[in-house]
């Protein structure tokens, strides 16, 4: 493993994840897919939405079911394709470090 940042053009193209860096010093775990598109890893909270129909002053209205959203929220993670329109597209990359050894 190398500790030096390298030009993004030299990053592995075989699907191996790596750390990507842009000019604003932001970093992401990234990789190239089988179509040679640059991807980055995203993690986010997913809040499913559900609505109830309620009667109010003789009208039927939709109201978001907050209890359903809270009971069914979860964390999701996915690989997202970089768009060439993003200003923060990576310029450099580095190999992922080895994970820490488990305590004995």
Q: What confidence score (pLDDT) does residue 82 get? A: 78
14 has a pLDDT exceeding 90: yes
For residue 102, being part of any structural domain is answered with no
Q: Which range of residues forms the domain containing residue 67? A: 6-95
| Percentage of the residues of the chain whose pLDDT score is greater than 90 | 28
Q: Which residue has the tokens 């992922």?
A: 96
Higher pLDDT, 77 or 48: 77
Higher pLDDT, 12 or 50: 12
Indicate the DSSP class of residue 70: H
For residue 27, being part of any structural domain is answered with yes
For residue 104, being part of any structural domain is answered with no
> Within 10 A of 57 (CB to CB), how many other CB atoms are there?
5
For residue 1, being part of any structural domain is answered with no
17 has a pLDDT exceeding 90: yes
Q: Which residue has the tokens 């493993």?
A: 1
Element spanning 68, H or E: helix 66-72
pLDDT grade for 55, boundaries at 50, 70 and 90 = confident
For residue 28, being part of any structural domain is answered with yes
Domain count, the chain: 1
Residue 32, C-beta contacts closer than 8 angstroms, at least 6 positions apart: 11, 12, 13, 14, 15, 38, 39
For residue 75, being part of any structural domain is answered with yes
Calculate mean pLDDT across residues 23-50.
81
For residue 25, being part of any structural domain is answered with yes
pTM over 0.85: no
């Amino acid at each position: 493993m190398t500790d030096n940042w390298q030009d993004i053009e030299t990053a592995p193209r075989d699907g191996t994840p790596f750390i990507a860096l842009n000019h604003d010093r932001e970093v992401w775990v990234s990789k190239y897919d089988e179509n040679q598109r640059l991807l980055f890893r995203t993690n986010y909270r997913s809040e499913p939405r559900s609505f109830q129909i309620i009667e109010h002053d003789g009208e039927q209205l939709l109201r978001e079911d907050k209890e359903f959203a809270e009971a069914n929220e979860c964390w999701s993670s996915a690989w997202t394709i970089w768009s060439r329109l993003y200003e923060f597209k990576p310029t450099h990359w580095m190999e992922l470090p080895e994970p820490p050894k488990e305590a004995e």
